Amino acid sequence: MTLAVRYTSARTLDTAPAAGSEPGPGEVELAPAYVGICGTDLHIFHGDMDARVATPAVLGHEMAGRIVRVGPGVEGWRPGDAVTVMPLRWDGTCPACRAGHQHICQHLDFIGIDSPGAMQQRWTVPASTLIRLPATLPLDRAALVEPTAVAVHDVGRAAVKNGEKVVVVGGGPVGILIALVARATGAEVRVVELNAHRRLLAEELGLSTWDPAAADITELVQQWTGEAGADVAFEVSGAAGGVDTAVDALGVRGRLCLVAIHPRPREINLHRFFWRELTLVGARLYDRGDFERAVALVADGTIPAQRLITKIVPMTEAPAAFEALESGGDVMKILVDCTDDTQGAAV
C-alpha cells in the first residue's frame, strides 16, 4: 500500500493509503519524486471545480520521477528511467483531434484533474504520456518542466520574435517562466507585478519589472517603446485590471496572448482592437514539442528552476503548502516530496 494526497472537499486534503494498480498493456508504473502545486490545483482546493473533479481526487500534474514497472507491449522504456509526464489523454476522434489539435481535444482527459494525478508514491499512466529526462537533471528541478512547457506554448502562440518588446502582466510562476522563455527567444521583456517579493525575484533573474501601484504602466510602455507600444502582451494575472493593462500596452498590430484563466467574463476595450488592429490569441496547455523544448531549457539552465522553488515539503504537509500558496506573499513554487524510500524508489 502506498500513500496519496487526496482532495476530499472544499479546502480539505488528506494523506491516505492508495491501492496501486498493475500497469496494463501500454502503461507504465511510476514512482513520482517531486510534484509541483499550481494555480489549477488551488482552484480545485477551493472547491471551484467540484462539478468536474470526482472525490476523493489525487491531485498533481507537474512532476518528475522514475519508472518502476512497464506493462505489456511497452517498448523503449525501462525501470529506472527518469521521466516527466505530459498529462493529456485525448480521444483522437473529435473535430479538434482530427484537425491536429489533440492537446485541446473536445473530450480531453487532463490527468490530475479528470483522472488521478501524480501526488502519490506510485502512479500508473499511459506510456504515450512519458517525456524522457536527461540523467543529469535533478528531479526537483525537472518538476518545473510542465509549467515551462506552458510558457513555451504561450510564447509560440504569441509568435514572439527576436527584438520584439514584450510586456508580461503578472509575475507569478507562469508569468516569470513566460518572461524567461520570451527573453531566450530574443525579446526585450518587462514584467508588471504588484507583489514586491515576486518583482525582486524577477530582477534577480535579470528581468526588468514595473510596479503598477507606483507608476502608470501605459506611460512607462510609451517611454520604453518610443511611443510605439509593445509588440506582444501576455495577460497572466487573471484580474480585470490586468486585461486593461495588457490591452493598453499594445502598439499597432500588437498581439495579446491570454494565458490566465478568468472565471467570469471580462469587459475589454474592443475599440482599441479596432483602432490598432490588435490580435487576441488564447493559449491552453502544450504539445510534445513544447515539452521537449522545456526539458532542454530547464536542463541547460536557461530556466533557473532551482531559483523558482520556494520549498519542498513532505506529503503530510501538503495541506499547509496549499494554504501558503493561497496566501501569496513570499511564496513562488512549492514541491511535494512523494519519494518512498521504504519501497526503494530511485530518485
Spatial CB neighbours of 79, under 8 Å, sequence gap ≥ 6: 66, 67, 68, 69, 70
- Cα-Cα-Cα-Cα torsion 295, 129, 149, 248, nearest 10 degrees, comes to 170
- Cα-Cα-Cα-Cα torsion 219, 224, 228, 232, nearest 10 degrees, comes to -100
Spatial CB neighbours of 327, under 8 Å, sequence gap ≥ 6: none
- CA 195 from chain centre, in angstroms, equals 20
5 vs 326: CA distance, rounded Å: 17
Spatial CB neighbours of 303, under 8 Å, sequence gap ≥ 6: 144, 148, 177, 180, 181, 294, 297
Q: In angstroms, how far is the first alpha carbon of the chain from the final one? A: 19
Nearest to 278 by CA among 158, 162, 170: 158
Q: How far is CA 265 from CA 63, 187, 239, 260, 273, in A?
A: 32, 30, 11, 12, 17
241 vs 169: CA distance, rounded Å: 10
Catalytic residue among 2, 43, 262, 279: 43
Q: Is 197 tagged catalytic?
A: no
38 vs 321: CA distance, rounded Å: 11
Q: Is 43 tagged catalytic?
A: yes
The amino acid sitting at 70 is V
Catalytic residue among 2, 12, 40, 101: 40
Which positions are catalytic? 40, 43
